[in-house]
């Protein structure tokens, strides 16, 4: 089996970290000058490894090895959250580069084709998963035209400022790839708590959102007796407590739900709120469970309206994100590789956060590998993982890639 080079892997990760470094964290929003510097550096590192490397018209960096397919695409995104960690995205990108190098260096695997990739704007500075959407041909022109960052800069302006406007946009070629692999830090606590080294991702959870509205009667907080009130805020508090009970009864082990926003109107100390509103979001890998949760949220609203005195309505708040199932065959190769390198120290698990494979999976079989996050922290300067875990994850993914490609050649 090909051996990855741990020192080279970690040195490249440390180098990528310098672009936008801020203390222990990184500020490298997509298409910013420092992000483009990092992309040019990545393309050069790919060329140093003997790959043809191009930055495409939206900023994706794709390295293409000279060998014909069947090939594996391996990577992640190299942009970060506004105040992000050093591994979110970056680690998976350098894994792709290192695996391409490791396989090419070893005579027994030099014939296998691995192309590394660094997607652009997975974090949604302008438009979430911009790079993979463009590559899969599912970037809607209207969405692209409307996209702008928090400062009001349009995506089009940012692409022009990055010098990308005239470059061609790469697209998924018809016959080259047999799959896409992405490694990522877990961003949650499960691997660390279970004292395991590797997570084999089974699916990326789906997301549903409900807007719940409460319409009561605004009134004087002094002269209106408690029994005559139609207090929209009180109805909201009751709903929040009750939906927790309902969801707890339905939830699986990994189900999560969040009320991220709640507002009372008019919001004055001496006025009984006449209206209130909350955003309720819930995530799970099971579409059927998400259906049951959504039905429970709507049913609770109807029950509250019937009970009175406040009218409550719950409706779907955002385009639902369906769970994305990882390819079973690719999962098995990763699981086998993990069992060989770290016997018994891995598990299958869903991803609770979104990743580019949500976009890519309908077009190309996908699989993901997780390594532990220290304290489960991510999207924060404190995000970190142990260096030995980073190295182990890369070797397991390299083994899996080799196994997948050998298997495809033999077929």
Contact residues toward a copy of itself (CB under 8 A) are 186-190, 205, 207, 209, 220-226, 228, 231, 233-234, 237-238, 240-241, 244, 251, 254-264, 267-273, 279, 281, 283, 317-318, 352-354, 376, 378-379
* Nearer Cβ to a copy of itself (379/406): 379
CA 62 to chain centre: 19
* Nearer Cβ to a copy of itself (273/393): 273
Q: Could you tell me the smallest distance in angstroms from the CB atom of residue 244 to a copy of itself?
A: 7
DSSP 121: -
Q: Could you tell me the smallest distance in angstroms from the CB atom of residue 254 to a copy of itself?
A: 7
- Tokens 């060329």: give the residue: 47
Q: Could you tell me the smallest distance in angstroms from the CB atom of residue 392 to a copy of itself?
A: 21
Using CA atoms, how far residue 23 sits from 13, 102, 373, in Å, is 16, 31, 18
Q: Could you tell me the smallest distance in angstroms from the CB atom of residue 285 to a copy of itself?
A: 11
Q: Could you tell me the smallest distance in angstroms from the CB atom of residue 73 to a copy of itself?
A: 25
* Nearer Cβ to a copy of itself (118/264): 264
Q: Kindly provide the b/e burial profile for residues 277-298, where b requires at least 16 CB atoms within 10 angstroms of the residue's own CB.
A: bbbbbbbbbbeebbebbbebbb
Tokens of 200: 């084999």
Q: Could you tell me the smallest distance in angstroms from the CB atom of residue 382 to a copy of itself?
A: 12
* Nearer Cβ to a copy of itself (246/379): 379
Q: How far apart are the first and last CA of the chain?
A: 19
* Nearer Cβ to a copy of itself (170/186): 186
Helices 6-18, 387-410: axis angle to 10 degrees equals 110
Tokens of 67: 């060998």
* Nearer Cβ to a copy of itself (152/269): 269
For the stretch 235-239, contacts whose Cβ atoms lie closer than 8 Å and that sit 24 or more positions apart, written own/partner, are 235/276, 235/304, 235/310, 235/312, 236/212, 236/262, 236/264, 236/276, 236/277, 236/278, 238/304, 239/212, 239/214, 239/278, 239/300, 239/301, 239/304, 239/312
């Amino acid at each position: 089996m090909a051996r990855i080079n741990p020192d080279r892997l970690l040195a490249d990760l440390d180098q990528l970290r310098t672009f936008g470094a801020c203390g222990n964290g990184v500020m490298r929003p997509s298409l910013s000058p420092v992000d483009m510097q990092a992309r040019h550096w990545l393309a050069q590192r790919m060329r140093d490894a003997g790959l043809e490397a191009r930055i495409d018209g939206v900023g994706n960096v794709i390295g293409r090895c000279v060998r014909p397919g069947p090939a594996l695409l391996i990577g992640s995104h190299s942009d970060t959250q506004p105040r992000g960690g050093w591994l979110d995205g970056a680690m998976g990108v350098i894994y792709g580069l290192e695996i391409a190098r490791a396989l090419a260096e070893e005579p027994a695997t030099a014939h296998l084709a691995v192309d590394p990739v660094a997607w652009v704007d997975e974090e949604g500075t302008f438009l979430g998963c911009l790079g993979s959407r463009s590559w899969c041909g599912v970037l809607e022109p209207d969405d692209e035209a409307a996209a702008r960052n928090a400062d009001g800069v349009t995506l089009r302006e940012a692409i022009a400022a990055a010098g990308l406007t005239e470059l061609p946009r790469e697209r998924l070629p018809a016959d080259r790839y047999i799959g896409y692999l992405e490694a990522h830090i877990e961003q949650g606590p499960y691997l660390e708590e279970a004292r395991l080294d590797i997570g084999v991702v089974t699916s990326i959870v789906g997301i549903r959102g409900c807007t719940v509205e409460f319409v009561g009667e605004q009134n004087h907080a002094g002269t209106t007796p408690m029994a005559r009130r139609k207090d929209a805020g009180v109805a909201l508090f009751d709903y929040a407590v009750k939906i927790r009970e309902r969801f707890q009864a339905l939830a699986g082990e990994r189900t999560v739900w969040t009320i991220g926003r709640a507002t009372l109107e008019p919001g004055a100390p001496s006025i009984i709120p006449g209206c209130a509103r909350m955003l309720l979001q819930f995530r799970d890998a099971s579409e059927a469970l998400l259906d049951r949760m959504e039905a429970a949220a709507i049913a609770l609203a109807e029950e509250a309206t019937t009970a009175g005195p406040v009218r409550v309505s719950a409706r779907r708040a955002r385009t639902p994100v369906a769970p994305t199932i990882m390819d079973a065959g690719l999962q098995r190769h990763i699981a086998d590789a993990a069992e060989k390198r770290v016997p018994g120290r891995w598990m299958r698990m869903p991803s609770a956060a979104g990743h580019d494979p949500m976009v890519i999976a309908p077009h190309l079989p996908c699989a993901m590998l997780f390594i532990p996050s220290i304290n489960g922290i991510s999207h924060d300067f404190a995000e970190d993982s142990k260096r030995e875990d980073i190295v182990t994850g890369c070797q397991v993914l390299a083994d899996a890639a080799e196994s997948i490609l050998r298997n495809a050649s033999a077929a």
